[in-house]
A and B are shown apart, each in its own frame.
Chain A
């Protein structure tokens, strides 16, 4: 029912880890990859990510769409980066090796290329864990794991409600949209002007939001009748106990973050500088 997050049900060692473990690993790993600009370490993280993929039995065909989308997004952002700040690499690394001059104030430097390579590697270093997390964690377990890592169960429950109702609200959106199309409202954006496009969108969005207000009241009443929020703690149907594998994975990811910190100490900054 809930496949916006591409959960793929296929038994594997990664699937059998608890949601809380995977969430902790995701946070630690992305922080490690986000902080460092050390090319060697980013390369290591990418290899590790690919290994994790192989273990999880997620196939390339499962994630091709996501990958293509990411590539397109990365290209766009790389071009923008160059247009806005062609000398950012020079600023960071402190040297300037020009490869070739380009028209205007632009010049292609080795430093800029190296900086942009690092930015792309950073995407690739953190992407595998995010894809793994969403494709191996059941959405209902996700909320339980939030509570497990120390977030108040009331907030975890909000997340759980969001995940539960995203498909319903999407369905309702489509229904309202179809009903309005049956009444003759044009939805094809190529055929109409911006103003009427906005007006038509309003004809769908307003009923959708107003009916969601009623939904809030209904759900809240049902929860209040069951005395939700009376006790300081609650249990979760989908929660599972930690096993040895869970502890090992969390320890491993904590080490990854540790390496990032050590590398910052060794390199003297977040960057690894091959130019000096």
Chain B
């Protein structure tokens, strides 16, 4: 896939739609009651590697806002913005990892996971709780515990789902220099 501006715009749209579908319909119940494993962040990290920070931030922001809208009770802006930030930071892995060339080995896996852990820490332990306190005046210890729980859960799902997705996608691409000229 060639990366033109139009491809990026479409990727943001389809990415947001998938983010929405994954967060609304693909609920994998976790052992903790009333919490689902949010697979959408694994998907987001994969898209971030493919399309970069700006596209990933928009995808997460739009997808999260739409799913909040569709629940009907109002948009929890602080977490929507945190999702966008997570996508943006994850996107910086795109510079180091080039999936389109079909390369996703040990070095890339480490880079990818370091970046995604940083992204989740920034989003759920800094941005989300601070905005919760600023916008909604929630008590600090509550929002930090919420952020920590969400952050850890998201890091684990991203590590599993994101890595596997990148791996599967890279394998489906022809590797760079894999074709040889025949004499």
Interface size on B, as a range, is 35 or more
Q: Which residues of A contact B26 (CB under 8 A)?
A: 173, 201, 204-205
Verify if A251 is at the interface (C-beta below 8 Å from B): no
Contact A206–B73 (Cβ < 8 Å): no
B11 to chain A: closest CB distance in Å? 5
Contact B72–A134 (Cβ < 8 Å): yes
Verify if B179 is at the interface (C-beta below 8 Å from A): no
Contact B9–A205 (Cβ < 8 Å): no
Per-position binary interface string of chain B over residues 113-128, scored 1 when its CB falls under 8 Å from any chain A CB and 0 otherwise: 0000000000000000
Q: Which residues of A contact B161 (CB under 8 A)?
A: 202, 205
Interface segment, one of B87-95, B103-111, B130-138: B130-138
Contact A219–B10 (Cβ < 8 Å): yes
Q: Which residues of B contact A201 (CB under 8 A)?
A: 26, 28, 39
Q: When the two chains form the complex, which single residue of B14, B28, B63, B138 contacts A197, counting CB atoms closer than 8 Å? A: B28
Judged by DSSP, the binding face of A is: helix
Contact A158 B58, CB 8 Å, known A165-B14, A166-B20, A194-B30: yes
Q: When the two chains form the complex, which single residue of B31, B69, B165 contacts A130, counting CB atoms closer than 8 Å? A: B69
Verify if A126 is at the interface (C-beta below 8 Å from B): yes
A59 to chain B: closest CB distance in Å? 15
Contact B66–A130 (Cβ < 8 Å): no
List A163-184 residues whose CB lies under 8 Å from chain B. Answer: 163-166, 169-170, 173
Verify if B4 is at the interface (C-beta below 8 Å from A): yes
Verify if A159 is at the interface (C-beta below 8 Å from B): yes
Verify if A34 is at the interface (C-beta below 8 Å from B): yes
Q: When the two chains form the complex, which single residue of A76, A122, A212 contacts B14, counting CB atoms closer than 8 Å? A: A212
Contact B43–A209 (Cβ < 8 Å): yes
A239 to chain B: closest CB distance in Å? 19
A9 to chain B: closest CB distance in Å? 17
Q: Which residues of B contact A126 (CB under 8 A)?
A: 74
Distance of A161 Cα from B9 Cα, bound (Å): 9
Verify if B175 is at the interface (C-beta below 8 Å from A): no
Contact B139–A84 (Cβ < 8 Å): yes
Verify if A80 is at the interface (C-beta below 8 Å from B): yes
Contact A6–B72 (Cβ < 8 Å): yes
Residues of B within 8 A of A (CB): 1, 4-7, 9-14, 16-18, 20-22, 24-26, 28-31, 34, 37, 39, 43, 46, 58, 62-63, 66, 69-75, 77, 135-139, 141-142, 145, 160-161, 164-165, 168-169, 172
Contact B139–A216 (Cβ < 8 Å): no
Interface segment, one of A11-19, A38-46, A66-74: A66-74
Q: When the two chains form the complex, which single residue of A70, A161, A170 contacts B73, counting CB atoms closer than 8 Å? A: A70
Contact A161–B13 (Cβ < 8 Å): yes
Q: When the two chains form the complex, which single residue of B4, B13, B34 contacts A160, counting CB atoms closer than 8 Å? A: B13
A22 to chain B: closest CB distance in Å? 12
Distance of A220 Cα from B4 Cα, bound (Å): 9
Q: Which residues of B contact A242 (CB under 8 A)?
A: none
Verify if A266 is at the interface (C-beta below 8 Å from B): no
Contact A81 B73, CB 8 Å, known A162-B17, A204-B26, A210-B168: no
B168 to chain A: closest CB distance in Å? 6
Can you offer 16 A-B residue contacts whose CB atoms are under 8 A?
A6-B70, A66-B72, A70-B72, A130-B72, A133-B69, A134-B69, A155-B58, A159-B66, A161-B14, A163-B17, A166-B21, A202-B164, A206-B165, A213-B1, A217-B7, A228-B9
Distance of A197 Cα from B75 Cα, bound (Å): 30
Verify if A185 is at the interface (C-beta below 8 Å from B): no
Contact A170–B75 (Cβ < 8 Å): no
Q: When the two chains form the complex, which single residue of B10, B31, B71, B164 contacts A223, counting CB atoms closer than 8 Å? A: B10
Verify if A198 is at the interface (C-beta below 8 Å from B): yes
Q: Which residues of A contact B22 (CB under 8 A)?
A: 205
Q: When the two chains form the complex, which single residue of A160, A169, A220 contacts B6, counting CB atoms closer than 8 Å? A: A220
Contact B72–A215 (Cβ < 8 Å): no
A211 to chain B: closest CB distance in Å? 10
Q: Which residues of A contact B66 (CB under 8 A)?
A: 159, 162-163, 166
